[in-house]
Every structure is written in C-alpha cells, then in structure tokens.
Structure 1
Amino acid sequence: MTVVRRWPQVLWLTVVWVLLWGTVSVKIVVGGILVAAAVTALFPLPLLPRLPFRPWALLQLGCYLLVDLVVSGVQVAWETLRHGPRAQAGIVAVPLLTDSERITTFVAAATALTPGTVVLQIDRAGGRLYVYTLGLRRPDDAARVRRQMERLQERMVRTVGEER
C-alpha cells in the first residue's frame, strides 16, 4: 500500500537504476523496479504536498531569475575588473519570510545560481538566512542585498507556497 502511494519515487529510483547500469533491458528495468520498491518500503521518505501549478508566477520567477543572473554576472565582472584582489565581500543576515523548508531550499538554490552570492547558513530557529555576497562597499549595500533576497522570497512564495 505504501509503495503504491509512492509510485513517483519508485519511478525515479528505477530511472536512476537504469542510468547507473548504462543500458536498457527488461531484466535491468524489472530489477530496478524491485530494488526501488524495496528501498521505498524500507526507507520511506515523508510524503510532501504537491506543488501548486501557477504558470504565470512560474514564468515571472523564471524571468526574474534570468535577469538577476545577467545583472549579477555583470556586477561581479565589474567588481572583479575594477577592484581585483581588493574586491570586498561580506555576510548579510536576511530575515526568512516563510516557515516552509521547501521554499527556503528553493531560495537557497536560486541564490547559489546567482554569481557573487551564496547562502552560508540557514538559521531556522532565528528565522534568518546568512548570505555571503560580493560587492559590499557602502553601508547601504547590505540593505540592498536584504531587499533583493526578500523580493526573491516573495516571488518564490507566490510561485510555490504560502507565507507564514
């Protein structure tokens, strides 16, 4: 019964099994299904609610991330060319706008894609992300990073979740 409700996990594990073997045959696919069913039954992951399908919000998020990727790339290149080894970076504490671990994970992943930034730590108890970022030269640069991260979180919440 549990394995039947977890068919997407079984399917995904079977695909991984076939990819690891590097060839497709009936024996490998059936073996993959059996191994995936056994792994899913012995080590069940918690069932998560399905992500909402919000195509307009997803398109807006994709465009936002694409623009952010280009703008951040130009900013990192400029900072590197202009200041070289004297380029300044720092860690900025950013308040979390949601209790959702899923959204926090998506935000951290999107931040890692952006040149010049990475989430160093997620403080769930304190409700903060600690973001390492390049280009902190003035006191108001930290506030700019906080605003950018809050906008990203708001877009992520509109796309895949609920606010706290």
Structure 2
Amino acid sequence: MSLHPRRTGWRFQWATIAWLTVVWVLLWGDVTWGNIVNGALLGLLVTVGLRMTPVDFRGRVHPLGLLVLLGRFALDLVRASFEVSIVALRPRYTPRGAVICVQLRSHSDLYLTMTAELVSLVPGSIIVEAHRLTGRLYVHVLDVETSGGVEKARQSVLDQEARVLRALASDEELADAGLQRRGRDREVASR
C-alpha cells in the first residue's frame, strides 16, 4: 500500500483538501467564508501542485499498540516537561548537554520520521540530524544527568521506535527489526 496521494485517487485528495482547509481556518482562528474558500484553494494548490514523495506503508494500525504509543508519549511529555522545568529553575546549575547517535532498527523512512518527530516533541531532546540511508538519528539531549546518562537516553529513543513499530508495522517489519508484538512476547516466554 502506498500513501502517495496521486496513487490513492481523488477520494484521498478531497480528504486532504478538507483537512488542510480545517487547519487553515484553525490557524486564522476565525470561521469566515473568506477563510474557508482561501483554505480550500490553498489545500487544492498544495495537493495538486506540490509533488509528494511516495511513502511505502506495508503495516497496519494495531489499536493496542497505538494506545500504548499514545499513552506513553503523553506520560513522557509530562515527565520531561517537569524535568526541563527543574533544570531551568535550578540556581547556578549548568546542564551538561550531549549529542548522541542512535542506530534505529527499522529501515523504513516512515518509521524513522515518526520516531524522530515523537522524540523531538518531548521537551529536553531534539533531532539534530537524521540519516535516511543509514537509519541513524543524532539527538541533542538537554541534560545528560537528568536523562540518566547517554545509554539511557539512547535506549529511550530505541524504546520510542519499538512503540512506533508495534503500533504500525507488519509482523515481517517487526521481525526484521528484531521485535515482536507484546502479546506474542508473552506467548514465546510461556513456551
């Protein structure tokens, strides 16, 4: 299956145009006919005029894995926000930042991008560089001490990737990454 708009037909393009129109109106913060028409025209221009690179998606959405991914992401947001505020409010404390290299297990552009976005959205870490061909992410960590050290920060990124894969990847993609679904981990352990 491909997520390329030209390959999925007009139904997907109309949904994309509608979504872009909603985003446009929300950005302006005022529901007027002018904003709706301009949003629709801009959505049409973006959808038809800009070439989108094809994204191969061979997996499917796994509701339990998605729930775990979103729940843990929300928990990470709260925890990291608290940690960053502690670092910011400590008098005369200079955080020891670091840039770490994380070799991801998956070779999919989609999963690399999703992992990078989720890691960047959590306060205290940002993706400095992503190497598509090698599957490496270079992550800047605000404070290595608060993060529990370099290896713990690296493992945190790998855990995020595992949650993304368990939420969206096919069984073959999981096996290629050396992972299994959570339910199957328990089945294998009980044998």
**TM-score, length basis structure 2:** 0.65
SS of 1:86's equivalent?
A: coil
Task: Specify the alignment match of 1:77 in structure 2.
Answer: 85
Question: For the structure 1 residues 23 and 120, does the alpha-carbon distance in structure 2 shift closer, same or farther, using more than 3 Å as the test?
Answer: same
In structure 1, list runs of 5 or more residues that go unmatched: none
Deviation at residue 111 of structure 1 after TM alignment: 1.3
5 Å-filtered alignment, 1:89-100, equals 89-100=97-108
Q: Work out whether residues 99 and 138 of structure 2, in 8 Å CA contact, stay in contact via their aligned partners in 1.
A: yes
Q: For residue 69 of structure 2, what is the aligned residue in structure 1?
A: 61
Q: Work out whether residues 87 and 93 of structure 2, in 8 Å CA contact, stay in contact via their aligned partners in 1.
A: no
CA distance in 1, matches of 2:86, 2:24: 45
Q: CA RMSD in A?
A: 3.4
Identical-residue share of aligned pairs (%): 28
Within the candidate set 4, 7, 10, 1:4 is matched to 10
Moved more, 67-76 or 52-61: 67-76
Task: Give per-residue Cα distances to partners, 1:71-128, cap 9 Å, x unaligned.
Answer: 2223223333446452211111111121222222221221122121111110223321
Q: Secondary structure at the match of 1:93?
A: strand
Shift of 1:18: 6.3
Cα–Cα, structure 1 residues 142 and 50, in superposed 2: closer, same or farther, change >3 Å? same
TM-score, normalised with respect to structure 1: 0.74
1:114 pairs with 2:122: yes
Structure 2 gap segments, 5+ residues each: 1-5, 177-191
Aligned residues of 2:112 and 2:135 also touching (Cα < 8 A): no
Q: For this pair of structures, how many residues does the alignment match?
A: 161
Sort the Cα spacing of 1:133 and 1:41 in 2 relative to 1 into closer, same or farther, 3 A.
closer
